[in-house]
């Protein structure tokens, strides 16, 4: 029977762990809690572990149970090669059937994912591991996925290029897909693997596949999309400064399309051509950047092409599959025609016509 000291230490450990749990909020409602990375190191200090093991009163443990525990430590049961654990190895360790169920129902909150930049991570299910989101707020929903603003807990976003994790909570965008067969991740990985880069193409930090339920891609958090940016301006006409920003932004989008169309050098040779096929106001994201101005850094807006869910990439000049959409060129609706770079240019021209109407007449135009 456990001593009073054993019960006291267990209560102390429980209290220390509960104090360190982070709350997870989705659209303002608390949906769960998780133990952030480093919790075990902070709580299970050597002196605490020493007191804990002394309180177990090992001489009173039956020989059979002691041999079982020693066997567990020396010869790890088959299937317990990594955590989080599955039911079978837990049943082989614990004699009673209740303890494995308790562990399985609670272990997810102790295994929040660490998202690695430039990596494709995978977990089996959210019943075994949890997401390291402090906050999750819906930003938009479309035909190809749902976009959230998420705040990642300290230490749970690993920057591979810096070889370090975030020292403070970090705000990023997360796009959730129901099927892992969506093409956007594949397209972006191909583009980002190329030698050249373009400031006007939205970056992808990494991705997370969740069993067969779907996957998420993580991106820098934009201020808003171009449509919302224009609607938010209630003035009859944009100011001179904003008109300049819009013209420069449109030029940046044109540069982004040129980057996709001209053929991007691949790491192993050859060129890659990308047809976006879904260019519209909603898929142009606005970010706050900083540029040098006589040795000083000043705020600057930069427009980036995003949402590659309908895009196609080609290593040679192939026919494109036809797609429908408000901003698509008329030839894209004809089965006898092929999708070429001119189709994206048509969409860009449509966007520019909307922009110049906005410049002349404001939101009323």
Q: How does pLDDT run across 29-76, given as a tens digit for each residue?
A: 999 999 999 998 899 899 988 888 888 765 554 544 444 444 444 444
pLDDT beyond 80 at 12: yes
24 shares a domain with 81: yes
234 shares a domain with 357: yes
Task: Round the average pLDDT of the chain to a whole number and report it.
Answer: 81
The pLDDT value recorded for residue 264 is 80
Q: What is the CATH number of the domain that holds 141?
A: 3.30.200.20
Domain range for 18 is 4-110
189 shares a domain with 123: yes
> For residue 286, which of 333, 361, 227 has the smallest C-alpha distance?
227
Find out whether 299 and 288 touch, Cβ atoms under 8 Å: yes
Share of the chain above pLDDT 70, in %: 79
Average pLDDT of span 177-206: 75
pTM for this prediction:
0.78
157 shares a domain with 62: no
Strands 120-123 and 22-26, how do they pair?
A: unpaired
Average pLDDT of span 291-313: 79
209 shares a domain with 138: yes
254 shares a domain with 152: no
| CB burial of residue 323 (10 Å; 0-12, 13-18, 19+) | middle
Burial 250-279 (b: 16+ CB within 10 A, else e): bebbeebbebbbeebeeeeeeebbbbbbbb
Decide which of 53 and 18 is more confident: 18
Decide which of 32 and 321 is more confident: 32
355 shares a domain with 229: yes
123 shares a domain with 69: no
Strands 214-219 and 170-177, how do they pair?
A: antiparallel
Residues in CB range of 307: below 8 A, 6 or more apart: 142, 144, 184, 278, 282, 283
Find out whether 202 and 282 touch, Cβ atoms under 8 Å: no
The pLDDT value recorded for residue 30 is 95
348 shares a domain with 241: yes
Which strand ranges, in their side-by-side order, compose the sheet holding 157-159? 115-116, 157-159, 164-165
Q: What is the CATH number of the domain that holds 289?
A: 1.10.510.10
The pLDDT value recorded for residue 254 is 96
Average pLDDT of span 170-189: 77
265 shares a domain with 190: no
Q: What is the pLDDT of residues 238-271, one digit of tens each?
A: 888 888 989 999 999 999 999 999 878 777 777 8
Say how many domains are in the chain: 3
The pLDDT value recorded for residue 97 is 83
Choose one of 88, 110, 132: the last residue of a domain.
Answer: 110
255 shares a domain with 126: no
Task: Find the Cα–Cα–Cα–Cα dihedral 247, 139, 20, 157, rounded to 10°.
Answer: -50
349 shares a domain with 244: yes
The pLDDT value recorded for residue 361 is 84
The pLDDT value recorded for residue 321 is 40
Check residue 117 and report its DSSP letter. T
Choose one of 163, 188, 220: the last residue of a domain.
Answer: 220
Find out whether 289 and 301 touch, Cβ atoms under 8 Å: yes
Task: Find the Cα–Cα–Cα–Cα dihedral 270, 274, 275, 281, rounded to 10°.
Answer: -160
pLDDT beyond 50 at 332: no
Choose one of 220, 242, 276: the last residue of a domain.
Answer: 220
């Amino acid at each position: 029977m456990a001593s009073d000291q054993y019960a006291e230490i267990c209560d102390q450990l429980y209290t220390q762990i509960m104090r360190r749990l982070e709350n997870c909020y989705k659209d303002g409602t608390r949906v769960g809690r998780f133990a952030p990375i480093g919790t075990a190191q902070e709580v299970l200090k050597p002196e605490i572990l020493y007191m804990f093991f002394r309180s177990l009163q090992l001489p009173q443990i039956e020989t059979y149970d002691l041999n079982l525990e020693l066997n567990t430590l020396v010869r790890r049961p088959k299937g317990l090669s990594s955590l989080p654990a599955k039911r079978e190895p837990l049943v082989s360790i614990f004699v009673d059937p209740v303890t494995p169920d308790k562990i399985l129902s609670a272990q997810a909150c102790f295994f929040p994912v660490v998202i690695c930049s430039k990596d494709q991570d995978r977990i089996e299910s959210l019943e075994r591991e949890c997401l390291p989101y402090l906050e999750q707020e819906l930003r938009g929903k479309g035909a190809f996925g749902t976009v959230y603003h998420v705040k990642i807990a300290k230490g749970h976003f690993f920057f591979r290029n810096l070889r370090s994790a975030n020292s403070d909570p970090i705000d990023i965008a997360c796009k959730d897909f129901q099927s892992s067969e969506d093409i956007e991740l594949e397209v972006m990985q191909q583009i980002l693997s190329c030698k050249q880069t373009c400031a006007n193409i939205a970056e992808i930090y990494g991705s997370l596949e969740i069993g067969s339920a779907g996957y998420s891609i993580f991106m820098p958090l934009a201020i808003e999309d171009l449509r919302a940016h224009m609607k938010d301006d209630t003035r009859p006409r944009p100011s001179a400064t904003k008109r300049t920003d819009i013209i420069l932004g449109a030029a940046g989008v044109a540069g982004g399309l040129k980057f996709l169309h001209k053929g991007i050098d691949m790491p192993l040779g050859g060129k890659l051509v990308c047809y976006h096929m879904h260019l519209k106001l909603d898929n142009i994201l606005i970010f706050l950047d900083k540029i040098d101005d006589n040795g000083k850094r000043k705020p600057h807006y930069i427009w980036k092409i995003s949402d590659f869910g309908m895009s196609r990439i080609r290593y040679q000049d192939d026919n494109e599959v036809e797609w429908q959409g408000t901003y698509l060129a008329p030839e894209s609706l004809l089965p006898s025609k092929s999708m070429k770079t001119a189709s994206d240019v048509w969409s860009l021209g449509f966007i520019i016509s909307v922009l110049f109407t906005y410049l002349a007449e404001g939101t009323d135009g």
